[in-house]
């Protein structure tokens, strides 16, 4: 009987110690960048102005969904340049994961206010990979 009580207590407390989004997600997400035309030079800058990638399309890169810190989501700006085309810029935004709201049932206040906000796993980047459509410069 005592073992059953201990087991039930552990099972009852365990969900309160975990964050749903932290269990279900990683805070690094692959983003694929394609362009028309191909071989466009791109530079990706995080919200702090730090360049996190420089290269050419097509490419797939892994981007963090959050910065270090508490409730600190990340977003990125993609700058594109190709000779003979107008420069292009787009933003990759964050959203709150549906798994984060699972804390209401499973993770409790620890998951809502501590685990997921610190880990950054409560955020995800836009689902649609950005496609860079370059416009030729009119002469």
- Using CA atoms, how far apart are residues 120 and 51, in angstroms rounded to an integer? 20
Contact yes or no for 84/134 (Cβ under 8 A): no
pLDDT in tens, 27-71: 688 899 999 999 999 999 998 999 999 999 999 999 887 776 666
Assigned domain for 65 exists: yes
Assigned domain for 63 exists: yes
Assigned domain for 119 exists: yes
pLDDT for 16 beyond 70: no
pLDDT at 26: 59
Assigned domain for 138 exists: no
pLDDT at 68: 67
Assigned domain for 44 exists: yes
What is the span of the domain harbouring residue 89?
2-133
Assigned domain for 77 exists: yes
Neighbours of 126 (CB within 10 A): 16
Highest mean pLDDT among 14-18, 29-33, 81-85: 81-85
Q: Which two tokens stand for residue 117?
A: 């906000």
Assigned domain for 47 exists: yes
What is the pTM assigned to this prediction? 0.71
CATH of residue 62's domain is 2.60.40
The total number of structural domains in the chain stands at 1
pLDDT at 76: 93
Assigned domain for 34 exists: yes
Q: Which two tokens stand for residue 107?
A: 């993770």
């Amino acid at each position: 009987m005592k073992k059953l009580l201990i087991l039930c207590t552990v099972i009852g407390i365990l969900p309160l110690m975990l964050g749903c989004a932290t269990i279900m997600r990683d805070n690094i997400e692959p983003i694929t960048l394609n362009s028309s035309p191909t071989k466009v030079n791109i530079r990706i800058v995080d919200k702090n102005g730090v360049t996190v990638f420089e290269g050419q399309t097509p490419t797939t890169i892994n981007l963090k969904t959050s910065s270090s810190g508490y409730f600190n989501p990340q977003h990125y700006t993609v700058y594109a340049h190709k000779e003979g085309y107008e420069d292009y810029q787009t933003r990759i935004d964050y959203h709150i994961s549906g798994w984060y709201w699972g804390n209401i049932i499973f993770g409790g206040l620890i998951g809502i206010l501590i685990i997921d906000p610190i880990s950054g796993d409560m955020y995800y980047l836009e689902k649609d990979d950005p496609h860079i459509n370059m416009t030729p410069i009119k002469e």
